[in-house]
Amino acid sequence: MPNLPDYSPQASSPPQHQSSASQKTPAWRTIAGQPRFWLITTLVALGVISRWLPHPPNFTPIGALALFGGTFYANWRWAFSLPLLSLFLSDLVLGLHILMPVVYGSFALNVLLGRWLRFHWGIVNLAVVTLVGSFQFYLTTNFACWILSYPHTLAGLIECYVNAIPFFRNSALADATYTVILFGSVAVAERVFPVLREPTRQPTTA
């Protein structure tokens, strides 16, 4: 009798050890393949590169970049790691300094503000978290400056914060300026190219 193909249900079923879960595409790979991800990452990179342009003291995009990354990256790991990595790479070129741990900690706080904004979106909220981010950077970094460079007295603390007011003004203006540029760029790009819009505002845990 000739050998006939086996058309039984058991023969047509996939092997039992291959589950559908094992064939799923990892979430990070799915997101990294989206045009929106590359738009956001390109804007982060351009913002970091702008640090190398001539600018007034403290007029840099780092605060706005942290807020931007925290708001627009769906994956929270990328929201923290990509802007922080970009900042570190630029610091390797511009020069390392003793206040880096404090600056990076403040930067991470801005990312957290961005994560909150992501799920409480609104123009007023954007303005509020931008100002809060500028103020917390002023408080944290200058407290570290007081510890390192001023007398450890109330008068020394006050003197430190008073001397830093011009720098606070520049950083607040920079945060406002770059926030408008970064967030506005995404808004315009989404309007012109609908493929860049985020389908949902659901949190990503992968």
CATH top-level class for 28-196? Answer: mainly alpha
Cβ contacts of 69 within 8 Å, gap of 6 or more: 40, 44, 78, 79, 80, 82, 83, 111, 114
Q: What is the mean pLDDT of the chain?
A: 83
- Give pLDDT, residue 94: 83
99 three-class SS: coil
Nearest to 44 by CA among 28, 68, 60: 68
- What is the per-residue pLDDT across 82-106, written as a single tens digit (0 to 9) for each? 888 888 888 888 888 888 899 999 9
Average pLDDT rounded to a whole number, residues 119-131: 94
Residue 205 predicted with pLDDT over 70: no
Cα–Cα–Cα angle for 41, 45, 50, nearest 5°? 150
Report the length, in residues, of the chain: 206
Q: How far apart are CA 161 and CA 155, in angstroms?
A: 10
> For residues 103 and 11, which has the higher predicted lDDT (pLDDT)?
103
- Give pLDDT, residue 194: 86
Average pLDDT rounded to a whole number, residues 65-79: 90
138 three-class SS: helix
Indicate whether this model's pTM tops 0.85.
no
Average pLDDT rounded to a whole number, residues 73-85: 87
- Give pLDDT, residue 86: 83
- What is the per-residue pLDDT across 135-146, written as a single tens digit (0 to 9) for each? 999 999 999 999
Give per-residue burial for 29-38: e unless 16+ CB within 10 Å, then b. Answer: eebeeeebbe
Segments making up each domain of the chain, as ranges: 28-196
Q: How far apart are CA 122 and CA 127, in angstroms?
A: 9
Q: How far apart are CA 139 and CA 152, in angstroms?
A: 16
- What do you get for the CA distance between the two ends of the chain, in Å? 55
Nearest to 74 by CA among 105, 109, 118, 110: 118
Q: Which helix (H) or strand (E) holds 83?
A: helix 76-94
